[in-house]
Every structure is written in structure tokens, then in C-alpha cells.
Chain A
Amino acid sequence: MTTKTRLLLKLAGATGALLLSLGVAAPQEARAELRIDITRGVSEPLPIAITSFAGSGGRDAQMGADISKVISDDLERSGLFKPLDPRGFLQTPDQLRSGEPRYQDWKALGAQALVAGNTTTGGDGRMKVDFRLWDVAAGQYMQGLSYSASPQEWRRIAHIVADAIYKRLTGEDGYFDTRVVYVAESGPANARKKQLAIMDQDSANHQFLTDGQTLVLTPRFSPTSQEITYMSYFNKKPRVYLFNIDTGRQEVLGDFPGMTFAPRFSPDGNKVIMSMAQNGNTDIYTLDLRTRRQTQLTDAPGIDTGPSYSPDGQRIVFESDRGGTQQLYVMGADGSGVKRLTFGEGRYGTPVWSPRGDLIAFTRQRGSSFAVGVIRPDGSGERILTEAFHVEGPTWAPNGRVLMFFKDLPSGDGRGRNAKLYSIDITGANERRVSTPVDASDPAWSPLIP
């Protein structure tokens, strides 16, 4: 099993962290603050003017323009913002840099928020990016921040700026400075080639992590390290593995007599929880990554799988057919106090606890109809977000506001189906295709990059 690891970006931590400092002026609170209430579902995205981050010229000018585009695209994809066409802008980046915005001009364009920024390269070769955010209607400065980093990290800087704007205007943490690991699919349906692949959440910096010689499934990010746990059929022995993104090193996890699958990390990153199937019975186990100790958590006859920890690590949601059909259950982290969560019509699987703790996302199947939905951990408030034949396998953005999942679509030749990635707001709005170079399934969203 050979591995290609071609990290295009040296991530923070490897080359020295991104520097973050407060901008020139302290943010002033406006009385009726510009704020998007994202809990209700936004029918009208907030019009926002994002001017070019062009610097003094030359290379900085191009990079500044590129940074603006990445910020604008991030905010637009969230469904909460409507970036305005820069061709209508009446004030130049230079004018904004040296003085106050002419609020009337921006109001006339319909802008409610205004972003200006600047990109410069210092004598040490490091890039400095700063931005300022204004509330146009109130005529009020809201926020200014400055970042410096190596020029290769320009996309990350743009995502971090977009996260800052998102946070200032929604009150919620952003999710743009993140990556997605998934299973890239190619070849005929009865001998599908599946590879691990990773990309930024906006599909940039795509790379394959495995070569496709071995069938791989269900990758999941570590919450604390540059590691992925996944299932591999290496040597025709399906087992859960650990993959180090930086080194490309892969290792089997634990010494189990049967197939292990459906892995996820514990929130502290110290354990992997998974299923083991043996003699027709599937139970849930944990493996402590430091002590390598294996612990069995369930022993009911039947299929117990799909375990996912609550963000505080105290509880585990999983799916089981112990009651006759596949349903969701919650238990304590030690396997005690099992309680059934879903009682709806149909079968429930692939539960995954939101990083905020307030919801559990799942796949529901009724006959041949599949849906992705959410339910509260006490079993109330079940809502279906999207339905199709077939959708499956939700994963949370780190802020718990957006889900990604995969959807099978009829293939071009009409014989098979091809999987693609989609994202959707937890209100059910803003369902969008997430672009991948080949077919894609089993997405897993990373935490915010440290």
C-alpha cells in the first residue's frame, strides 16, 4: 500500500504560526448592531461589499484581488451573504485605506456591510493582510484585524478573514478555515476504485492520500491532530486504520479477531470508537491510542454500529437493530444507561453528534427513500433537511451550523449511480454541490485548522 503525500501547504505549526493581532482601532459597538440571526434560516442574504485587498501594486495587487475573491466566495457559499458586484463600487480600495467610507455611496448600492483590506509583503518576505469591516446603515466601524503569514498560505489567510467577518456578523464561529477528507471514487460500479482524498472546504488544494489499490471507506478527522481514522481492506482484511496526513504513515488500530469499521475519534482525540463484527454479531469498542487498551462497550445480540461521541465525551450515540429495526440509541461513555432515541417510521443510521452538542444528524431510510435529518439528543425536534435516493452520511462543520453529506445521482450511462458531495444549512436551506475532481462519498469535515 503506497501512499502519496503531497502537502501543498505547510500548515501553521510546521512553519511558524499565523500571527494574529488586533487592528488599529478597537471595535465600537453600534446601538442597533448589524447582525444576522442565523437560527431562523435566512431568506434574504445580507448584501455585503467586499473591495479588493489589492496592495501597492505588482504581485501584492494580484494576491490582494485573489484574497478578496476567496473571502467573497466563502461568504456567498454560506448562503447568509450576498457579495455585491465590485464593478458597481464607487470608492476605490486606496480611498478606503486612507479614510472613512462614503457611507451614502455604499448605501446607494444596497450594501449593508462593507469590507476593505490591504495586502503587503514585508522585507522578510512575509505577507501582511489587514481588513476592516463597517456597518453601512449605521455608518459605523465594526472591526479591524491584521494577519501575517508566508505568502504560500494566502488562501488560509483569506479563509481566516472570512471566518472573522462571519463571526462578527452572525455571532457564531466560522468554518471556512477547514478541510474535508472524503472517499474519491472512480471506475466501474462493481469494482469501484476508492481513494482517500483531502481538500480545503472550498475544494481548493485537492490531493489524493492513497493510491486506490486498496478499498478504503469512512475517513474521519481527528479533533486534535493531523490524523484520520478510516477503514481499509488492506490484504483483504477489513480493519480500522490511522492515517497521519503529514507523514503519510498508516497503521492498523488494535488487534481484533473480526472486521472493525465505522471509526470515529473521541473529542479529546485520545480514543477511537468503532464497531467489530464477529460471528454475525456487531458490537462497539474503544481503543485508547496511548495505552492501546481495547474496551468493549456493547454486547447486545445484533448490529451495534455508527458510534459518535457527544462533544463533552460523556455520551455516545449509535445505531442498533436490537429493537427489530435499525434505530438510534444514546448511552454513557462507559456503555451504561442505553436509551432509545428514535421511534419514527423507517430505519435510522450514521448518527453524528454536532460539535455544539445541541443536535445529532442522521441518515433515515423508509423503503427506498433516504433522508438526512437532525434530532435533539433528548429525542425531540426531529427534522428532515433533505431527501433523495439516495443521500447518506452527514458530517458537521465545526460550528455546528452546516452539514456535508453525499448524494448518489444517476450516472451518465443510466446504469449506475455516481456519488457527489453536498452541503446544507441545518435550517434545510442552501443545499449546494461541493465540487470534487472525481465522484465523492463519505465526507468528513475537519475542525478549524489550529
Chain B
Amino acid sequence: MRMKFLALAAVALLAACESTPNDAANGANTGAQQTSVRPGSAEDFVVNVGDRVFFGLDRFDLSPEARATLDRQAKWLQTYGSVTVTVEGHADERGTREYNLALGERRANSVKNYLAAKGITPNRVNVVSYGKERPAVVGSNEAAWSQNRRGVTVVN
């Protein structure tokens, strides 16, 4: 429950100070909470590393921004070697329920595979797809959709 709250708080923070999703994770580094979080905690990961990457419409390849975020995630996971994570794959609302479940799984695996290539043992990374069931931003416009096509790394 606590982790969920922190994740939501981080989203609100990002939404407030950033205009595009790809900048969001980087921008979080400047957050005022930086000093108060415990290194190695889920909050540290969300605020100081960036927990999410974004995808193009119907895409599951990683943009340069996404790779930069995942590089930081990999580094953090190497530092805190006992932490395991779950990568949640999400899709925007355009697309059928079943297809979006499969697409979310693809996106989560893109993240997992990238982390694995950066030396993170696959058994530390669980994946789950939520398809279009759990939008981060409610709305039927590109601003919402672009935030919802995402892979979110959640510290277990």
C-alpha cells in the first residue's frame, strides 16, 4: 500500500513539472524529495532513478530516453543486488482488450530484456501485463495515451 502511494505521488510530481513523458523520468531527479528518501528504497528508485519508460503507438522498442532511464535502473539494481522488481507493461485504450494484454507483455519484456543485457539477472525481474486496464492518466487524447503506453518497474 505504501509503495503504491509513493508511486502515485511521483506521477503527480512528474505531471506537474514536465510536459512530455520522455522527459518525466529525468526531471524527477531534480525533485525536492531527493534528500529525504532512503537510498535503496522503493521511493529512492521512483524519485531518483525513474520507474517508467514510454512507448510509441503499437510499439515495444525502446527510445533513447527509455534506454537512458533503464541504464539508471540497471545501475541502481546492481547497487542494490538483493532487490527484485516487477515490470508492469501497459497499453493505451486504443486497441482491443486481448491485443493490449499481449502488447503490454511485449513492452514489459522489452524492459526486462534490456535490463538483462545490462547485467541484471532475469530471475530478479518478474513481468506482468495490465493491457489497457490500469491507465496512469485518465483521458481520451494523445497527452493521456502517451503517458499510458508504458513499462513501469516496481520494486517488490
The 0/1 profile, CB within 8 Å of A marked 1, for residues 71-107 of chain B is 0000000000000001000000111111101110110
* Listed residue (A192, A217, A282) with the most chain B CB atoms within 10 angstroms of its CB: A282
The interface centre, meaning the residue of B60, B98, B109, B139 with most chain A CB atoms within 10 A of its CB, is: B98
Contact call B94/A390, Cβ cutoff below 8 A? yes
Q: A171 in the interface, Cβ–Cβ < 8 Å?
A: no
A259 to B106, CA, bound (A): 11
Contact partner of B97 (CB less than 8 A), chosen from A188, A217, A326, is: A217
CA distance A410 to B139 in the complex (A): 10
Rounded to whole Å, the gap between the CB of A233 and the closest CB of chain B is 8
A255-297 CB contacts (< 8 Å) to partner B? 258-259, 261-262, 275, 277-280, 282
Q: 1/0 contact trace for A352-369 toward B, CB 8 Å?
A: 000000000001010010
B129 touches A259 (CB 8 A): yes
- Closest Cβ of chain B to A351, distance in Å, is 10
The listed residue (A275, A365, A368) touching B98 by CB distance below 8 A is A275
Q: A184 CB to closest chain B CB, in angstroms?
A: 14
- Asked whether, in the complex, the Cβ of B136 is within 8 Å of the Cβ of A190, the reply is yes
Whether a CB of chain A sits under 8 angstroms from the CB of B138 is: yes
A238-B129 in contact given A368-B94, A390-B93 (Cβ < 8 Å): yes
**Contact yes or no, A442 B129, CB < 8 A:** no
Name the distance in Å between A133's Cβ and chain B's nearest Cβ.
42
| Number of interchain pairs (Cβ within 8 Å) | 96
Query: When A238-B129, A280-B109, A303-B103 are in contact, do A218 and B97 touch as well, CB less than 8 Å?
Result: yes
Q: Which residues of A contact B133 (CB under 8 A)?
A: 192, 194, 215, 217
Q: Are B128 and A218 in contact (CB under 8 A)?
A: no
- With contact pairs A259-B105, A259-B129, A280-B105 given, residues A415 and B139 touching in the complex (Cβ less than 8 Å): yes
Q: Which residues of B contact A (CB under 8 A)?
A: 60, 86, 93-99, 101-103, 105-106, 109-110, 113, 128-129, 133-140
Given contacts A190-B136, A275-B98, A389-B140, 17 further A-B contacts (CB under 8 A): A188-B138, A190-B138, A191-B134, A192-B134, A238-B129, A261-B98, A261-B102, A277-B102, A279-B109, A280-B105, A282-B105, A303-B102, A305-B101, A319-B96, A319-B99, A390-B94, A415-B139
